[in-house]
Amino acid sequence: MTRVLVLSNFYPPDGHGGYEMSCADVMERLVRRGHEVTVLTSRYSRTGNGTPREEERSGVRVLRGLDLYWDDHRLVIPPRRRRLAVERANQRRLRAALAAARPDVVSVWNMGAMSFGLLTALHRRGTPLVYAVCNDWLVWGPDMDAWSKGLSDRPLLRRLAPALTRAPAGPSDLGTTGTFLFVSDWTRRLAEERSGSHYPDSSVVYSGIAPDDFPVRDDEADRPWSWRLLFAGRLDPDKGVDTCIRALARLPEATLEVIGPGSEQERTRVERMAAELGVGDRMVMDDLARSALATRYRAADVVVFPSRWDEPFGLVPIEAMACGTPVVATRTGGSAEVLLDGVNCIGFGRDDPDGLVRAVLMLAEDEELRRKLTSEGRKTAQALTVDGLADCFEQWLTGAAGGFSDGRPPPRRLALPPARAAG
């Protein structure tokens, strides 16, 4: 049995994406395997900042008390005196969590808008740190920490800050503080190139879907094509839902379902754009729990993954593949490592509604292609489950807790076929 303390900015049910869901998936499985897990996260809730509180979720002890430099999709930079109060309070809550959990290892997840001084305190304490890097927060995260950022141009004050203020800044070289598990090789390369640190102790573990919510089914008969397009994901300009809407205007027979959380401002922008392009009556919007998504995936003819930003991984296409629905995707960033053009999806360019239209028409006109993509997609989904991800984390966390006395776990290998040749 290993005692694990998890540090992350969000934890379900509060959060906005797959990152925190993956964290919960892994930690709940570790609890079922006999490990003790305590999560220290922010007091943020989707209905506004709540009061610090403690709860239990599926056997995981969750302490919600940290303050973030973030307020409903908006980065905040309080006055320096207020920042100091935030840092001191967060350090107190970390000390209380450490006393309660007595961890053998700390599992660090998303540090966006968090106090990086917490990592300094943990590293100095000597508890092994294992980082789960599922996006590029290693690149931009330090700039979202208003306390450390405010000390970055004052090296003397940065060194003296712990003694003078009882509030350390973030580590000067984050890459040397622990073991880093990246969701894709692309994410690791980006961190190496842009974060200012190197990560000598690192591996790639990929991510995975929850089989309970998305059981792989291979017994479905061929479905008639009905022009039903589905976008699932966070409502954010980076996710490219506007590419779907522009494509919808060029597909007069099609409908589009948009499912996902987002700010009221972004939801209004999407609805206004659909109205201006004359497709508002062929688009519906919703926000569903993950457990309800499989039915919508199976009802769609194609799931569109139109990200314009470089996706670290991308769970939505894998969920759709498990449900037997063809996928068309931009294959940006790390997602290209598992989304294979012409094998388990059809690729198109970012910000390219015409390319999306061509991909959809290709599927509409070729039943055999749809059958091939769904067959290969199911194999991909079977290879990428959260159970496999939990296996990886269990090996790395227990190994780190024991000082890797038996050596480090081997890299995770995926047996996926090669993508088709370009041209």
**Would residue 198 count as lying in a domain?**
yes
**What are the pLDDT tens digits along the chain (423 aa)?**
999 999 999 999 887 678 999 999 999 999 999 999 999 999 988 666 678 899 999 999 999 999 999 887 788 889 989 999 999 999 999 999 999 999 999 999 999 999 999 999 999 999 999 999 999 999 999 999 998 887 766 666 666 666 667 789 899 899 999 999 999 999 999 999 999 999 999 999 999 999 999 998 765 557 799 999 999 998 999 999 999 999 999 999 999 999 998 888 999 999 999 999 999 999 999 999 888 999 999 999 999 999 999 999 999 999 999 999 999 999 999 999 999 999 999 999 999 999 999 999 999 999 999 999 999 999 999 999 999 999 999 999 999 999 999 999 998 888 776 655 443
Question: Based on the domain organization, do 248 and 379 belong to the same domain?
Answer: yes
CB atoms closer than 10 angstroms to residue 118 = 24
Question: Based on the domain organization, do 124 and 33 belong to the same domain?
Answer: yes
Question: Based on the domain organization, do 300 and 182 belong to the same domain?
Answer: no
Identify the pLDDT of residue 152: 63
CATH of the domain at 83: 3.40.50.2000
> What counts of helices (H) and strands (E) characterise the chain?
14, 16
Question: Based on the domain organization, do 181 and 241 belong to the same domain?
Answer: no
Pair 121, 40: CB distance under 8 Å? no
Question: Based on the domain organization, do 192 and 244 belong to the same domain?
Answer: no
This prediction has a pTM of: 0.92
Identify the pLDDT of residue 300: 97
**Would residue 172 count as lying in a domain?**
yes
**Whole-number Å distance between alpha carbons of 12 and 32:** 18
Number of domains in the chain: 2
Question: Based on the domain organization, do 247 and 351 belong to the same domain?
Answer: yes
**Whole-number Å distance between alpha carbons of 263 and 15:** 12
Identify the pLDDT of residue 417: 66
Tell me which amino acid residue 340 is: L
Q: Which domain holds residue 303?
A: 228-383
**Whole-number Å distance between alpha carbons of 87 and 92:** 9
**Whole-number Å distance between alpha carbons of 76 and 72:** 10
Pair 167, 87: CB distance under 8 Å? yes
Question: Based on the domain organization, do 170 and 65 belong to the same domain?
Answer: yes
Identify the pLDDT of residue 411: 87
**Would residue 333 count as lying in a domain?**
yes
**Would residue 132 count as lying in a domain?**
yes
What long-range pairs does 30-36 form, CB within 8 A, spacing at least 24?
30/4, 30/390, 30/393, 30/394, 30/397, 31/58, 31/59, 31/60, 32/59, 33/390, 33/394, 34/1, 35/1, 35/2, 35/3, 35/4, 35/394, 35/397, 36/1, 36/2, 36/3, 36/4, 36/101
Identify the pLDDT of residue 223: 79
The backbone torsions φ and ψ at residue 22, rounded to the nearest 5 degrees and listed phi first, read -65, -40
In the beta sheet, which residues pair with residue 264? none
* Sheet order of strands, 228-232 included: 283-286, 255-259, 228-232, 302-305, 327-329, 346-347
**Would residue 177 count as lying in a domain?**
yes
Question: Based on the domain organization, do 235 and 192 belong to the same domain?
Answer: no
What Rg, from alpha-carbon coordinates, does the chain have? 22
**Whole-number Å distance between alpha carbons of 385 and 414:** 12
Burial class (CB in 10 A: 0-12, 13-18, 19+), 403: exposed
Question: Based on the domain organization, do 31 and 180 belong to the same domain?
Answer: yes
**Would residue 82 count as lying in a domain?**
yes
Using alpha carbons, list the distances in angstroms from residue 344 to 96, 210, 353, 374.
Answer: 48, 19, 20, 7
Question: Based on the domain organization, do 171 and 313 belong to the same domain?
Answer: no
**Whole-number Å distance between alpha carbons of 262 and 233:** 9
**Would residue 413 count as lying in a domain?**
no
Identify the pLDDT of residue 158: 62
Identify the pLDDT of residue 339: 97
Identify the pLDDT of residue 423: 37
299 Cβ neighbours under 8 A, 6+ residues apart = 228, 230
**Would residue 418 count as lying in a domain?**
no
Identify the pLDDT of residue 169: 87
Identify the pLDDT of residue 361: 98
Identify the pLDDT of residue 218: 66
Question: Based on the domain organization, do 315 and 203 belong to the same domain?
Answer: no
Question: Based on the domain organization, do 336 and 395 belong to the same domain?
Answer: no
